[in-house]
Amino acid sequence: MTMRALILSLALAAVALPAAAVQPDEVLADPVLEERARELSKGLRCLVCRNESIDESNAELARDLRILVRERLVAGDSDDEVIRYLVDRYGEFVLLKPTLTGSNLVLWIAGPAMLLLAGGIAAIYLRSRRRAEEPDVDSLSDEERRRLDEILAD
Amino acid sequence: MLIELGHFALILAFALSLVQSVVPLVGAHKGWRGWMAVAEPTANGQLILTGFSFAALTWAFVTSDFSVRLVVTNSHTLKPMIYKISGVWGNHEGSLLLWVLILTLFGACAVWFGQNLPPRFKARVLAVQAMVSAAFFGFILFTSNPFERMALPPFDGQDLNPLLQDPGLAFHPPFLYLGYVGLSMAFSFAVAALIEGRVDAAWARWVRPWTLAAWVFLTIGIALGSWWAYYELGWGGFWFWDPVENASFMPWLISAALLHSAIVVEKREALKSWTILLAIMAFGFSLIGAFIVRSGVLTSVHAFANDPERGTYILAITGIFVGGALTLFTLRASQMQAKGVFGLVSRESALVANNVLLAVSCFVVFIGTIWPLVAEMFWDRKLSVGPPFFDAAFTPFMVVLSILLPIGAVMPWKRGSIAKAMRPLRGALVLAFAGLALAWAMQSGNSALGPVGTALAVWLVAGAASELWLRAGNRWPRLWRLPRADWGKAVAHAGLGITVFGISALTAWQAEDIRVAQIGEPFDVAGYTIRLDSVDRVEGPNYLSTMATMTVLRDGRAVAVLHPEKRVYPVAQMPTTEAAIDNGITRDVYLVIGDRQDDGGWAVRTYIKPFANWIWLGCIVMSLGGFLSLTDRRYRVAVGAGRAPAMAAPAE
């Protein structure tokens, strides 16, 4: 796949490579561990892909990471330990869900803060509408009156 | 020769758009009728010239004219005809040409359907629309000429990206662009109203059909893209929160908010400046979307090269139009005085809540989309923002919206009470709790997603039905005589419910199986038996396929025979996965064939996807609701046609 073809495919839609994703030979015998591996994989980014988790990607690297996650789990790591292990090696770029630390707090708080702000402004506006005086109907200009008649005539 | 004529037509259209940007505006300012009237022939001329230009490029693709560079890089003689045509917009330059074609189409539509607009206002609308098209004509002519020739035409082309050779994707961009660009009409109306300094019920009535049409097209476009991702990418995901997807979702959210706030302006003459702001933002997000997709800045932070020149140009367009409109807005916002008076509990307040939720949820999507860029610029942190963030941060807004929607829809204008509004909804509420209990009892796990999603969906659909019933005064015959707009509203709201159900059911209850299957040995997945019968090599028109034949059985009876494929496109040198899907009302059986294993078996992936099709069914129903509203005679784009004797409409 050429660079151009890649860019072109980007130009149209969310395009990922056809995913082969988890291969049968990767699957762990223990269904509980495998389920944990799948859940973890969904939150880890395939570093060479576009916005794909390692669970969905068919890239070689994603396969290596899936196997690595499973190795750590089999070795007895907790979910947090697996994630810490990967972040130590690859940086926080590997996490599809940004951490709640430092500047990322802004990202997580932005939505709720905006909701409070917008809700506050809306509440003030609604109160002002409740108290507002009904405008004097006679203040309509002739042209406004004409338009209003047209609308009402519909 | 035709190619050069197409190029020339595009340059002429650019010149016309420049004339149309200035002359009608001056005319409207000075009150010169002749100058104002210039806008009509120029708008039609732009459409005709751009149409010719687009036809010339299409002709080059259809006839595989490999002296044109774009045809070489995106087409191939063996490609099926439909993909030769869709190849025209399957690339940056051609899709931009489609974009300006649609832009001029909307400009011309404003002329055709805007007969009842006051001439001065109409001249201003058309001038603003022409400024937008001039900016894009400039973009295409100066940075992305689709008519570039090859010095040495090659024998054959390099083929279109195989992932894009697909019926779902062939029509995805045109619909999406109709939506993006349709919002430019709302923008032009908003800026023209700011120039005039007046926003009234009539303005809201003019702007609403355009916004509604744009929203319907966006809904269809997004649904097509999501449906394509579902069957083409090989594991049945339908939404990825990818920057490119978010680019189309943000204008959808804002235009949905605009649709609702324009109702308040129309019926109650309140929320005027907010509605103008939304109209500006809706198109602003379309432009930001174009920037995200075409500059590659966000999609390619770490993986791909980008094109700084194009990105800078679109950023400049976005900055000038949004910045200019916002400046005008701050100068004129104080002139737009609200007239309507209403209580805290009223339809008006419910629509304000709708707007707050939609706008803030759009903000959340926006900040999540650009956050990797922001974090890298300011804190040098290289990080990813993926689906887990958006699922967590966006979903609550939709839950609250779904809870409030049916109550707001039955709330009376001016003053209401929650207790009174709930009365006609009691049945819907009972049904929703029944749905919750049923889903909880039927599912195997303890996940809340499925039951809550089911309850919300039932609440939305039953709420929409209850509202219709209420408007009909609880009598059947009157139900059919309700205005189309009432039906449209209820249908669109029910469509949202159906989509909510599809998404939560699929997410909560999907079953998956990954294994090595031996030919002839059946295996069981979630109540179905799957048998791999054979795997064959098949040759397609421009690809080679490894095609499996698989039988799906339920209780020993064959339900379907499916053919999942792995294809290789030799010209583009790219493999694709073609999943085979047995579509059903309650579930899809989704089969994918993988690689051959050392022991002679094949890697096979089976998914049972409950209620998957309901996601897109809901989108279809939502768009249908939009169309129903559009056909309401009150919202007819050509309102006033009945008053103009020369244009007497046929009896309805």
Tell me the backbone φ, ψ of residue B374, rounded to 5 degrees: -60, -45
The owner of tokens 């223990």 is A30
Across the interface, which of B74, B352, B633 has its CB nearest the CB of A122? Answer: B352
Complex ipTM value: 0.81
Q: Which of B463, B481, B484 is nearest to B472 (CA)?
A: B481
Domains for chain A: give ranges and CATH numbers: 3-94 (1.10.8.640), 104-153 (no CATH)
Question: Please, what is the angle between helix A79-90 and helix A31-42, to 10°?
Answer: 40
Point out the least confidently predicted range of B303-317, B404-418, B427-441: B303-317
Q: Which amino acid is at B180?
A: Y
Instruction: Kindly state the average pLDDT of the residues B581-587.
Output: 91
Q: Which of B463, B502, B492, B498 is nearest to B219 (CA)?
A: B492
Q: Give residue B636's pLDDT band: very low, low, confident or very high (50, 70, 90).
A: low
Interchain CB contact of A118 with B (< 8 Å): yes
Q: Give residue A4's pLDDT band: very low, low, confident or very high (50, 70, 90).
A: very low
Q: What average pLDDT is seen over chain B?
A: 87
Question: Which residues on A lie below 8 Å from B199 (Cβ)?
Answer: none
3-class DSSP state of B603: strand
Interchain CB contact of A42 with B (< 8 Å): yes
pLDDT at residue B642, rounded to an integer: 38
Beta-carbon contacts of A63 under 8 Å, excluding residues fewer than 6 positions away, are: A23, A26
Q: How many whole angstroms separate alpha carbon B276 and alpha carbon B193?
A: 8
Q: What average pLDDT is seen over chain A?
A: 77
The total number of residues shown for chain B amounts to 652
B252, two tokens: 């959808």
Which helix or strand (DSSP H or E) is residue B538 part of? strand B528-539
Q: Give residue B56's pLDDT band: very low, low, confident or very high (50, 70, 90).
A: very high
Tens of pLDDT, residues B529-566: 999 999 999 988 888 899 999 999 998 899 999 999 98
Interchain CB contact of B568 with A (< 8 Å): no
Instruction: Kindly state the average pLDDT of the residues B581-590.
Output: 91
Is the pLDDT reported for residue B433 higher than 60? yes
Q: What is the DSSP letter of A154?
A: -
Interchain CB contact of A21 with B (< 8 Å): yes
Q: Cβ A18–B393 below 8 Å, yes or no?
A: no
Query: For chain B, what percentages of helix, strand and coil (3-state, to nearest 5) are there?
Result: 65, 10, 25
Of the two residues B191 and A145, the one the predictor is more confident about is B191
Is the pLDDT reported for residue A1 higher than 70? no
pLDDT at residue B637, rounded to an integer: 47
In chain B, the residue whose alpha carbon lies closest to the alpha carbon of A114 is B360
- The distance of B173 to chain A (nearest Cα, Å) reads 7
Across the interface, which of B232, B307, B367 has its CB nearest the CB of A107? Answer: B367
- The distance of B303 to chain A (nearest Cα, Å) reads 7
Of the two residues A106 and A3, the one the predictor is more confident about is A106
Question: Is there a contact between B183 and B596 (Cβ–Cβ < 8 Å)?
Answer: no
Q: Is B638 exposed, middle or buried (0-12, 13-18, 19+ CB in 10 A)?
A: middle
Instruction: Kindly state the average pLDDT of the residues B360-367.
Output: 95
In chain B, the residue whose alpha carbon lies closest to the alpha carbon of A133 is B341
Tens of pLDDT, residues A91-105: 888 888 888 888 888
Q: How many whole angstroms separate alpha carbon B163 and alpha carbon B519?
A: 29
Q: Considering the entire predicted model, what is its pTM?
A: 0.88
Question: Is there a contact between B314 and B389 (Cβ–Cβ < 8 Å)?
Answer: no
Q: Cβ A150–B242 below 8 Å, yes or no?
A: no
Q: Which amino acid is at B104?
A: T
Q: How many whole angstroms separate alpha carbon B332 and alpha carbon A34?
A: 61
**Can you count the helices (H) and strands (E) in chain A?**
6, 0
Q: Which of A8, A140, A54, A69 is nearest to B159 (CA)?
A: A8
pLDDT at residue B253, rounded to an integer: 95
Question: Is there a contact between B86 and B98 (Cβ–Cβ < 8 Å)?
Answer: no
pLDDT at residue B299, rounded to an integer: 59
Q: Cβ A50–B242 below 8 Å, yes or no?
A: yes
pLDDT at residue B103, rounded to an integer: 94
Q: Give residue A117's pLDDT band: very low, low, confident or very high (50, 70, 90).
A: very high
pLDDT at residue A11, rounded to an integer: 38
Instruction: Kindly state the average pLDDT of the residues B445-460.
Output: 88
Interchain CB contact of B369 with A (< 8 Å): no
Is the pLDDT reported for residue B371 higher than 80? yes
Question: Is there a contact between A110 and B364 (Cβ–Cβ < 8 Å)?
Answer: yes
Tell me the backbone φ, ψ of residue B596, rounded to 5 degrees: -75, 135
Q: Chains A and B: how many Cβ contacts under 8 Å?
A: 223
pLDDT at residue B298, rounded to an integer: 67
Question: Is there a contact between B101 and B179 (Cβ–Cβ < 8 Å)?
Answer: no
A115, two tokens: 């909701």
Q: How many whole angstroms separate alpha carbon B607 and alpha carbon A122?
A: 45
Is the pLDDT reported for residue B48 higher than 90? yes
Q: How many whole angstroms separate alpha carbon B445 and alpha carbon B363?
A: 34
Q: Output the CA–CA distances (angstroms, integers) from residue A53 to B299, B316, B394, B456, in the order listed.
A: 15, 34, 19, 29
pLDDT at residue B400, rounded to an integer: 94
In chain A, the residue whose alpha carbon lies closest to the alpha carbon of B569 is A1
Interchain CB contact of A53 with B (< 8 Å): yes
Q: What is the DSSP letter of A53?
A: B
Q: Give residue A138's pLDDT band: very low, low, confident or very high (50, 70, 90).
A: low
What is the SS3 string spanning B56-107?
HHHHHHHCCCCCEHHHHHHCCCCCCHHHHHHHHHCCHHHHHHHHHHHHHHHH
- The distance of A35 to chain B (nearest Cα, Å) reads 11
Across the interface, which of A11, A25, A127 has its CB nearest the CB of B293? Answer: A11
Question: Is there a contact between B180 and B218 (Cβ–Cβ < 8 Å)?
Answer: yes
Question: Is there a contact between B232 and B249 (Cβ–Cβ < 8 Å)?
Answer: no
Is the pLDDT reported for residue B643 higher than 50? no
